[in-house]
Amino acid sequence: MKKIEEYVRSIPDFPEPGIIFRDVTSILQDADGLKLAIDSMQDCLKDVDVDVIVGAESRGFIFGMPIAYNLHKPFVLVRKKGKLPCDTISREYDLEYGTATIEMHKDSIKPGQKVAIIDDLIATGGTIEAAAKMVEELGGEVVKIVFLMELAGLKGREKLAGYDVSSVICYDGK
C-alpha cells in the first residue's frame, strides 16, 4: 500500500519560481488516495469528543463532509462572504496581498458544542484562525483542527498555537 505522500503531486515553480505547489487533486483523482486521506484525517479524531465537524471552503468541504458522515456528526460550512443565505457572522483575515472575509450561519454552532475544524492545507493559518474565532464567538469550543497537509515553513501553526492541531503530511518548506 502506498503512503499518502506518494499520492501528492508536487509541481515546482508554481505559482512562482522557488515554490513547490502541493496538489491535492492528485489525491482526489485516485480512489485509494482519497480513502487513505479521509481515513488518515479521521484517525486524528479517534480519541476526541466532538459534536460538530466544520469545513472551510472549499477543500475543507471535500474532506470534512465524509468525516462528518462517517462519525454521524453534523457538518457546518465556513464560506466566503456573501455565499450563505441566512443570518451570518463574519471574520476578516489577512492574505499575502490584502484581506478576505469568511462567514458562518449564526445558528450553525450551539453554545457548548465541541467542534473539530477540517481543511486540506495549513499555510499561514489565517483562514482557520478566523474560522476558530467564529466558532468561539457562537459559544462553541474548538477541540481539534485537522489538516491533510502542512507547509511548516509558512508557520501557520504559530497562529493556531492555542489549539490542538494535527496534520497528516508535513512539508518543511513553503
For the annotated catalytic residues, the residue numbers are 59, 96
Relative orientation angle of helices 31-43 and 59-71, to the nearest 10 degrees: 70
Distance CA 4, CA 32 (A): 9
Cβ contact 143:113 at 8 Å? no
Neighbours of 81 (CB within 10 A): 13
Look at residue 82 and give its three-state secondary structure: coil
Cβ contact 63:38 at 8 Å? yes
